[in-house]
Chain A
Amino acid sequence: NAGVMQNPRHLVRRRGQEARLRCSPMKGHSHVYWYRQLPEEGLKFMVYLQKENIIDESGMPKERFSAEFPKEGPSILRIQQVVRGDSAAYFCASSPSGSGANVLTFGAGSRLTVL
């Protein structure tokens, strides 16, 4: 039973390029969350999605960042025109429901480096 799968694990982009990070939730999980961890800091919530719906994107920067979770396929976090400040580890988590009684299971993360 595979866990939360994220790819790529490492991504290098030059300033101005686009970064796409993918997340496949655990089998049976329909709720996906994205968190960002800047160097030497704790994880910060970015966005919460269910299939085809964004439930809460209050933690996501208003510009350049977008997320989707289509009916088929993985969830995608997209960062357009990346800047050096976007360099961070991006973690995806999934759960079977939004209830606080359900554990969020995290993936191994995608590490973005912007040159």
Chain B
Amino acid sequence: DAKTTQPTSMDCAEGRAANLPCNHSTISGNEYVYWYRQIHSQGPQYIIHGLKNNETNEMASLIITEDRKSSTLILPHATLRDTAVYYCIVRPSNSGAGSYQLTFGKGTKLSVIP
């Protein structure tokens, strides 16, 4: 069973920020929040991950609420190439079945519109 809940689809205008929400109300203290995306017919691409603090890299920012029950992935300036399915995944920090049996739910299909 997926441990995260995401909207099925979202639209975003090209050049604007895309904010993708994720609920993970049952997350444990030792579990990371990971984001991957899958552009049509390609392999999943790692975007970002975080434990408690907000994170930023060259691709995106990850905002995690203080209670860690939800998070938002932010693509600051969406382009047409960002059109993809975005997966929010909760993953234990230790080694074990939960750390490598990543549960890819339905994800959010983001469409960036010109």
* Cβ contact within 8 Å between A99 and B44: no
* Cβ contact within 8 Å between A45 and B101: yes
Q: A42-B105, A56-B97 are in contact. Are A100 and B32 (CB under 8 A)?
A: yes
B19 to chain A, nearest CB (A): 22
* Cβ contact within 8 Å between B101 and A101: no
* Cβ contact within 8 Å between A100 and B99: yes
* 0 or 1 for each of B73-103: is its CB under 8 Å from A? (1 = yes): 0000000000000010001111111111110
A107 in contact (CB, < 8 A): yes
Would you list which residues of chain A between 67 and 115 have a CB under 8 Å from chain B? 89, 91, 93, 95, 97-101, 103-109
Interface size on B, residues (CB 8 A): 28
B49 in contact (CB, < 8 A): yes
Q: A42-B107, A99-B93, A99-B94 are in contact. Are A104 and B102 (CB under 8 A)?
A: yes
Hey, which chain A residues are within 8 Å of B95, CB to CB?
97-100
Q: A33-B100, A42-B106, A59-B101 are in contact. Are A100 and B43 (CB under 8 A)?
A: no
A46 (CB) vs chain B CBs: closest residue: B101
* Cβ contact within 8 Å between A107 and B43: yes
**A residues lining the B interface (CB < 8 Å):** 4, 31, 33, 35, 42-45, 48, 56, 58-59, 89, 91, 93, 95, 97-101, 103-109
**B residues lining the A interface (CB < 8 Å):** 31-32, 34, 36, 41-46, 49, 87, 91-102, 104-107
